[in-house]
Every structure is written in C-alpha cells, then in structure tokens.
Structure 1
Amino acid sequence: MLNTFKQAPFYLDEQAIKWVKDTYKNFTTEQKIGQLFNLMVMQNSPDELAMIKKIQPGAITKFVTGSLETEINTINKIRHLSNTPLLISSDLEGGSMSFSFGAQVPNQLALAGLNDKKAVDYCTNVIAQEAKLLGINWSFTPVIDINKKFKSAIVGTRSYGSDIHLIKSMSQANIKILQQNNIAATVKHWPGEGFDDRDQHLVTTVNPMTKDQWDQSFGKLYQSAINNDVKAVMSAHIALPQYTKLYEDNQEQWWRPASINKHLNQTLLRDELGFNGLVVSDASTMAGVSSFSNRETVCVETIENGCDMLLFCQDPLQDFDFLLNGLRNGQLSEARLEQSVLRILAMKASLNLHHPSQDLSVDAFKQLTQSDYAKNIKKINRSTPHLVKNKSDFLPITVESKKRVLIISEGIKNIFSPHPIPLQVNEMLIKKGFEVVEFKAGISLQPENYDWILYLFSNESGLLKSRIYIDWLSLHAGFMESMYRPWVDLPTVMVSFGHPYLLYDAPSVPVYINAYCPNSDVQQAVVDALVGEINFNDQAAIDPFCGLDQLKY
C-alpha cells in the first residue's frame, strides 16, 4: 500500500514514504486508534486541550473565534501537545465562515453568480493565505453539491449553484489554489447533496438518482476532483439507494448513509472512481447517522466501511473505547485500521508536516492584513448582488422623491449567535439622506407614513436550520398584519443577504435582490446600487424563481 502513496493525490517521495512507514511501525495500537479521530475545538477550553493530550488525535477541526491572539496561542498549544504532527481542518467556505479578523470573502454561490473563475482563484488564495498563518492545513471545501431542491437550507449559498459545468470549473479552481498553498482540499458532501430538501444534521437525506443519472452529474464532479488530485473526500450521511440496491437485497440497507456504507465508500468511490486519498466522515454526531445505528456501531462501521477518519465525538473517551473494543472483537479489522492510519500519515507527509515547523505568530498575521493581499476583495464583494426583479423600473431610488423608508428586518441569523445581529443598511441609508424608520411590533404599516418599504433578510445556508423561509407572522408581528402585503400600496424592495429563494414566499414582491451574504462591503454595495451609484449583477448561478413562472411577476 505504501507504494500507492507515490501516486495521486499524495505524490510522496522516498523520504516521506519512510517517515510514514517508520511512524506507523512505532505506533502502539492505542496510538493508531487515536489517529482515526478528528476532534472539534470550538471553545479553546482547558478540557478540549486535555482531551487532545490524552487521545492524541490525528486531526482537529478549529472553529475560529473573534480573537486572533486567542486563536494563535491555542493552536500553538495544541501543536505542542501532539506527539505526531496534526491535521488542522476548518470550513473555509467564505461568507459567514470568513475569519472576523481577516478579509470578508464571498460565499460560493455569490462567487458562482459572477461566472468568473479568476474571482474564485483570487478569493481562495486570500482565504488560504490567512488559513496558513492560523495553522490550518486542511479545508473542508469545495462544496460540490447541486442546488436542485430550492427548499434545502443546507445547500443554497454554500454551493456553486446548479450548473454542472460551472460547479466543475469553480471547484477545480478551489482545489488547485488551496493545494498550491499546501492546504489539503476536500470535496463534499459524498455521494452528492441537493436533491433532498432536508438536512443531514437532522435526518438521513437521500440522493434519488439512478446510477446513470449519478454518473452524468455527481459522478462527473467527483471524477473531475479526483483527476485534479483532491486529497480528501467527506463522506456524508446521504443515502444513494439506487446504487446500494445493486449490492443489497435487504431494502432497509438501501437507505444506509454513505458515512457507514461500504458500497459507496469502497466500491463506488475507490474502486470505480479510483480515489486514493483520505476519506473523512461528516460529523458523526449528526442525526443523519446517529438515527441509523447506536453510537458504538456508528463508530466502528464508519472506519470499517470505508472512512479513514471519524469527525467529531459525543464523548471522545467512550468513542475511543468503542473503536479499541471493536478492534479486539474483530468488528474493526486490522486491515482497515492499517489502511486508514497509513492514509492519514500519507496526507500529513504530502503537506510536509513531517518536517519541523516554527510556532505561529500573531505579528505574521497582522503583517499579512496590512499588506495588499486582499486588495480586490471589496471590488469582488461589490459586484455580487443580483437584481432579480425590478417591476415598473422602480430602481434606482432617489432620496428627493422617496425620502421616507420603513425597514422591516429580523437581522442576521447565525446558528452560533443566540440573538440576531443587526444589519448596517439602516445607517448606510441615513448617510445617503433617507429618513429611516425601523419596524417594531405596534408600528403602523399605513402607506401614508412612508414613501417605500425595504425588507431585509439575512440567513445564509447552514446547519440545523431545517427550512429557511419568510415567517410573516413573526416578521409583521401580528395575526392580521401577517396577511398584509404592503407592495399593493407602496413601492417595496426585498433583499436577501443569504438564502436565494425567498421569492417563493413573496412571489409578487415587485423588486427583489439576492445579495447572498451580509458582510459590510456587500451591504454597502446594495445601498449604493439601490440609488444608482453602481450597477447590480445581472447573472445568477441558480434559478431564483424556483422553477415557478408565478414568481416572475
């Protein structure tokens, strides 16, 4: 097996092969088991650090906080706690996942709307430069899911849209730039999401495609990524029943999620597509897999059925015991343990982690941010908002004729924030000379009080959201009010700084804009475009009309 690491995607030389071989040979059984874990570090807590020291995982996933100094210090501590070089992973997806102390990069769907591969190159390079200085050497991107079910809250703004050729081109660019920066890229979510409007965090989702249909869509996307030397694939809690049924008579097994499905991970991914890199499970705590089997079975079957690494734990020490006991009783084979650990070490060597490295530096990151490394990000951000509808040519707006505006908004919604975060559009409009009233429960919606109304939504696609929609009862703060649509009486503009399919809940709104993410440059761009100072984008990588002609009018 070691000789295969000389080939794609790791391309190890003899020195690196020797390091992999010697490191594996010197591991105890417990140390081999530890390498299978990718532990979450979210709170930078002493308990998290103590767990890393005890288990000696092969990887951690870092959720980056708002403090540069804290992040640098924590990663330095973690690296010193590990006896074997660590893979340090993160979701480098842009949008709301951008580092708060770095450049605010558009999410994948916003970039796809520009139909400009050079913009993907540039933004990925900006993210990669920041990530390297934070010690991150493994990105869980690109997302190559397809925007097919518009109600999906987990795909939406995270993907490159719905066109296979565009997704292929842009994901190739993402992979190339990340790995040129010595950061392993990961394509997800295997075997392909977007044809189910549910969320794997909450339920096992289903890709309903026949094998021929899959070959012509996701098959092409994954084959392209493999041909472009992507180092990792994330196997998700998604069933592909039309493929699994070719190997299973028991119909219940057709719905087995990929993360614990040998036919998908081994037969399809490795044997048919020829993938020789690392397979990591999606978060093993998700209901998409935890609802299928008990925890012990999930831990063991994740590795035995083709994943090389277990992502996240409920109780790391208990999960460690599950895998160790599984090895001792034969449920986890020695062969699969060896294959997985060798692949993990090979990926580390492909990233030159077997060579000594210096501690991370706060000053080095600050020097980067003070350079011109991201000088074009503002321009790219400002080019992303898409004008979907502009009935009666209401835009652009002039402050002289439409001075009084009522803004109705629920702020920026983020799963990790207990309360919505205010948008800045209000203040930006005031600076333009508009008189702004912010809607609150009890405020009149009577048309004579305003010249126009502006709805602002900000809910990017993400985990545990189940559905993203306009909750009119909450938004208008009343039973009768929830059924009133002010655009029959007043010019009305609706802007989504996130989920791009809100027209489904407001089909007759006269002016609708998709801005994809709420970073400050994008908010300012929307305001500037509303008053005609810059132009909106006129392209999209998805169908904002959700396949319904009604939404166009």
Structure 2
Amino acid sequence: MALVDLKAKPYQLNQEQIDWVEHTLGKLTDEEKIGQLFFNLFMLNGKDYNNTQLTNQDILNKYHIGGARYEGGTKEDVQNLLNELQTHSKIPVLVAANCDSGGNGACKDGTYIASAAQCEAAQDTRVAYNAGLVAARESSALGVHINFDPCVDILQNWRNTIVNTRAYGTNAETVIKYTNAYIDGFNAERDMITCIKHFPGDGTEERDQHLVLGVNELSVEDWNNSFRKVYENHIERGVQMMMAGHIALPEYQKHINPSLEDKDILPATLSKELITDLLKEELNFNGLVVTDASHMLGMTAAMRREDYVPLAIAAGCDMFLFFNDLEEDFNFMLNGYKNGVITEERLNDAVRRILGLKAQLNLHKRQQEGTLLMPESALQVIGQPEHLEMQKEAADLGITLVKNTLDELPITPEKHKRIRLYMIENSEKDGIYQSDSTVTANIIKELESRGFEVTLNDGSTRVKGKTLDYRKEVDAAIVIANIVGYAAQNNYRIQWSTAMSNEIPWFVYEVPTVFASLNFTTHLHDATMVKAYINAYHSNPTTIKALVDKITGVSEFKGVPNDNVWTEKWQAKL
C-alpha cells in the first residue's frame, strides 16, 4: 500500500506542521478518525438531504466531520455558516465549493467568469486564469479552502452533456493548457487546495454517472495516450486532491488484475486497481483522493451501501463525499473498520492525508490565533468591478459564431425591426441547476433598447399560420436555447414545448433566423436546419448584452468552436 509522505509533493510540510499532524492523529479516538473521513453537505436552501434534525453544532460534536460542502445561499449566508462550523469544530474543517466558472459556484451572488467550454472557445489562457483567480478570491472570502474543480475530463463524445460545458477540450493537450491556466489563477494570490476531477476520466461515453455506472471504454494504450497525460501533468505540478468518479475503466482494471471478470468491474471509487494500484502507486499520486458524491447511482448500484461506504476507503479513497443518513453511514464506516474491511494502517494513512492538508493551510495555527473565521469586510471582494470587467472580456472573447451559411448577420433594427423571439427552455422541478427566470425579460429588454420591436412567440401550439403573412409581420427570428439541467437525464437535448410546436425552426427560409444557445454547445444536432448558429455559454446580463452586440454587428465574433459542435452530422454544416 502506498503510504503518504508528508515531506514530499504535494504536501511538502515543515517539521512543525508534521508534528501537529502526528500529535493530533495520536490523540484521536477511533470515532473521531472515522468522522474525519466524511464531507458533510450543509443545505442553505431549506432542504435536508441527511435525514436529521440535528443542529450544525450537534453534527460536529457527534460525528466529528473532517470536511464540509454546502449548497445554496448568498455570500452572507455562506460566510455565517462556515464561521459557525469553524467556531464549534475541535479540529478545523476543510471547506469545499464547486467553482468551475468563477465565484458563482461559491455563493448565489458570486461572479461568473467563464465555463470551461467558454475558456476553450476564447482561445486565450487569460480567460481560464481569470476564472481561477476570481474563484479563489471570492470563495476564500467566505471561508472556503478547497475548489472541487477544475474538471480535467476530455470531451471525446459530443453526446455527453454532463461535462459538455465543464470540459476544457477534446484532447489532452487542450485540457492541460487551459486547466493549467485556471489553476495558476486559482493559486496566484491564495493558499488554497485544488481538487481535479473525475478520475479516471469522463467524456468518452454519453451517460451520466449520477444516474448509472459511468464507463470509460478506452483501451490501456488509448487511455495512456490521453487521460494519463492529463493526470501526470497535474501530479507533477503538485495538485493536492483528486476526485474519483463513479466511472469504471474496464480495460485498465483487467490489465492490472487479469482475474477480473465483467461482473467484478467496479467504479473507480470502489476499485483498488484504479485508486491504489494505478493512481497512488503507478502514477505516484501522494495527495488525497475524495469520492464523488455517494448518492450517485454509479456508486449505489454497485452493492449495498453498508458495504460500499467502508470499501471506498479500503480501495484507496481518503474521504467520503456526503452522508445519506448521518448515523447510519457513520456506523457503516465505523463497523467497516472494526470488521477489518478498513485496516488500521489504511485508516491512519487516510486521516494523515486529511490532517496534512489542514496543516498545509495552517488551519491549526489560524484556529489558535483566532483568524480562522472570516470577517464580513472580506465579502467586499465579491462582485467587485475588476471581476465584472473580467466577465465582460470573457464574454467578448468566448461567444462563438459556429456558422452563418446564408450570410444573415448582422441583424439590425434598420433592416429587421420586427423580431419574433423564440425561447426554448426545459423545466425540471426542484433541479440542482435551474434556468434564471429573468433571462427572457433581459433579452427582450436588451433587444428593445437597440430599437427592435420584439414579439415573444407562444410555443404551446402547432399553429404556424400563413407563411406569406409571417413574412409580412416578421423581419427576423431569434431562437434562444436556454436549456439548463443536471443529473435528471443522461443527456440534455432540446425539447420543444409541444409536439410539432410552432417554435421548431420551420421559418429559416422565410425570414433571417439566428439560433443561440446559452449553455450546451451541441444543440445543432436538434436544429441542423438553422443557418446562423451561436454558442454564448451563459445567460447572465453581461453575456446577453455581448450576444446582442455581436448579433447586431456592434462587436465581432471572436470565439472558436471545436469539432463537437457539428455532432458528426454533415447537414449541420450547411
């Protein structure tokens, strides 16, 4: 078993820090060690996924959690929660957020800079650097220490929408280029921890491991020539954490252990072959491995929860992401240790890695000095003008004209005063990510401010009317796909409002028609008939303004698409 070396990369602790780790480890009870293995999810939106009525202080005292993540909340809400956790925690808690696009992943009012797909389209590493820089500035003001990003997956399969906007490219070299820039920005001003994901790599198939076991089908040779290069790059650069995906790598697993049959294949989170043998020993990763969220079906479908909770740690993962039921999962893990599923050596190694990251951040010193809690004044950095300028620059560089084969752009109020606006949206009740309800109003306001007369289409009917009348009443059509979703479908595609809805672009030869996606980059697959197609990557007001600037010819298009946008359809290019 590969044991951690706290003097080596990525820890590189001094003797004082190592002494604190060993002294603290030596004083922990078995129950306290078990608690350190868990990240708990704290909800700021009134929901309770942990099946508990315990207060936050009770959770800390009873379950001794090592890490915290949270969901929802304004900057004040989040900072108050994190200060409360650190106030009542015996050992400082590692706090994580998902800041893949800037500070908006840390709180509701954080600043979006650019998604990974937008960074690639911008063709400028400065955009990725700024996304990382703002992520660190704004999340650290709240009390966050760890970024569960960037995503270093390679988007080889255009049908994959779970990492469509979170992947920085379609090959290892591009992913390395932009994720390096993002991490450089993230580390530029703050001592924080980066956690890349999702080992052994997503993006080769179309399914979502939230809903089914993910499978990276690559051969040993193909994986070594792609994903391995990405992980080796980041290990060499000193990344501290990796998130293991609920993703199998069957060819490699069988290469390491030829006795495995198909029925024995497990997701990386439960696979000794992938976490211990490949990642920690062969790739020499000396940092900390955390599981992806344990309520995902890629993990839960493997075996009973009572078995996979401790097996994740036995396989080589060091922290377990999220309880289902606090008491039950804690006891599953504790019993796994008592029953020998988790050896004492493995438990101590995992806890040593966890404490090592806390020592690297000097959280123990900050706790003693009274500087661990974040002051309200720190929140002033969130949404500051400099960050909004970075957002504006990213939108200008990233928005991508994929095609304009009928040369219909620009659309101007002088030539196309009467606009028919089509808003294509999906509806997920209680979704993790939901579309902003103000988007339609913002788009109409922006268009009208330029002198257009805008009529919003009703897509709930099939009625199209006479085409000649349509041409008399409408000067141009703008179709906006505001499709947002996460973990409720394996793939997010365009879903029209009704069967043969009048919003389906039947009008592309009747009037100049522009189609723009505000999120996913592959909607051409469902709308190959449109002749002017744009990827805009986000729906914030800055992006909407920049999009209208480019549609109207005020600003030129600068983004560059990758080949996935064509979805392997020749007609998409027409």
**TM-score exceeds 0.5:** yes
Alignment of 1:393-472 (within 5 A): 393-411=407-425, 415-416=431-432, 421-423=437-439, 424-440=442-458, 441-442=460-461, 445-446=464-465, 447-448=470-471, 449-460=473-484, 462-472=486-496
> What's the secondary structure of 1:354's corresponding residue?
helix
Q: Which deviates more from structure 2 when the two are superposed, residues 434-443 or residues 405-414?
A: 405-414
Q: Work out whether residues 155 and 462 of structure 1, in 8 Å CA contact, stay in contact via their aligned partners in 2.
A: no
**Structure 1's 461 and 402: CA in aligned 2 closer, same or farther, altered over 3 A?**
same
**Shift of residue 162, structure 1, vs aligned partner:** 0.7
- Are 2:81 and 1:74 aligned? yes
Q: Distance in 1 between matches of 2:312 and 2:420?
A: 52
Within a 5 Å distance, the mapping from 1:73-92 to structure 2 comes to 73-92=80-99
Moved more, 141-150 or 90-99: 90-99
Q: For structure 1, list consecutive stretches of 5 or more residues without a partner in the other structure.
A: none
Any residues of structure 2 matched to 1:288-327 within 5 Å, and which?
Answer: 288-327=298-337
* 1:160–1:541 Cα contact (<8 Å) kept: no
- Equivalent residue runs for 1:273-352 within 5 Å: 273-352=283-362
CA contact (8 A) 2:42 2:69 kept: yes
Residues 240 and 284 (structure 1), Cα distance of their counterparts in 2 relative to 1, 3 Å cut: same
Are 2:393 and 1:379 aligned? yes
Question: Post-superposition shift, 1:412?
Answer: 7.7
Say whether the 8 Å CA contact 1:204–1:239 is kept in structure 2. Answer: yes
Q: Match for 2:127 among 115, 119, 133?
A: 119
Aligned equivalent of 2:64, options 56, 73, 76: 56
CA–CA separation in structure 2 for the residues paired with 1:483 and 1:359:
53
- The question of 1:205 aligning with 2:229 is answered no
Which amino acid in structure 1 is aligned with residue 414 of structure 2?
E
CA contact (8 A) 1:412 1:422 kept: no
Report the alpha carbon displacement of residue 225 of structure 1 after superposing the two structures with TM: 0.5
- Partners of 2:206 and 2:433 in 1: CA distance: 24
Segments of 5+ residues of structure 2 without an aligned counterpart are 47-52
Describe the shift of the 1:483–1:372 C-alpha distance in structure 2 as closer, same or farther (beyond 3 A). closer
Q: Deviations over 1:15-63 (max 9, x none)?
A: 0000000000010000000000001112276746132332121001122
Contact in 2 for aligned 1:91/1:140 (Cα 8 Å):
yes
Match of 2:530 among 475, 490, 509: 509
Distance 2:449 2:66 in 1: 51
Contact 1:411 1:422 (8 Å CA) reproduced: no
1:214 to 223, 241, 244: 223
User: Which letter does structure 1 place at the counterpart of 2:173?
Assistant: H
Q: Is the 8 A contact 1:109 1:541 kept in 2?
A: no
User: Comparing 47-56 with 3-12, which one deviates more in the overlay?
Assistant: 47-56
Q: For 1:177 and 1:17, how far apart are their aligned partners in 2?
A: 28
- Could you say if the C-alpha distance between residues 413 and 482 of structure 1 is closer, same or farther in structure 2, counting changes exceeding 3 Å? closer
Change in CA separation of 1:86 and 1:109 when aligned onto 2, cut-off 3 Å: same
CA shift for structure 1 position 543: 2.7
The Cα shift of 1:369 comes to 4.2
Determine what percentage of the aligned residue pairs are the same residue: 31
Residue 141 of structure 2, aligned match among 133, 136, 154: 133
Paired residue total: 549
Distance 1:105 1:413 in 2: 25
Q: Pick closer, same or farther for the CA change 1:517–1:210 going to 2, 3 Å.
A: same
TM score, norm. by length of structure 1: 0.94
Q: Secondary structure at the match of 2:524?
A: helix
Query: Pairwise mapping of residues 167-182 of structure 1 onto structure 2 (< 5 A)?
Result: 167-180=175-188, 181-182=190-191
Q: Specify the alignment match of 2:548 in structure 1.
A: 527
* Residue type of the alignment partner of 1:208: E
Cα separation, 1, equivalents of 2:258 and 2:302: 16
Question: TM-score normalised to the size of structure 2?
Answer: 0.91
Is the contact made by 2:524 and 2:572 (CA closer than 8 Å) also made in structure 1?
A: yes
Instruction: Measure, in 1, the Cα distance between the counterparts of 2:300 and 2:169.
Output: 29
SS at 2:487 equivalent? coil
Q: CA deviation at 1:259?
A: 0.4
Equivalent position of 2:49 in the other structure: none
* Structure 1 match to 2:24: 23
Q: Kindly tell me: are residues 248 and 136 of structure 1, through their superposed partners in 2, closer, same or farther at Cα, counting changes over 3 Å?
A: same
Q: How far did residue 417 of structure 1 move?
A: 5.9
2:159 maps to what in 1?
151
Deviations 1:159-185 (A, max 9, x none): 102132111011122233334421211
C-alpha distance 233-372 of structure 1, shift in aligned 2 (>3 A): same
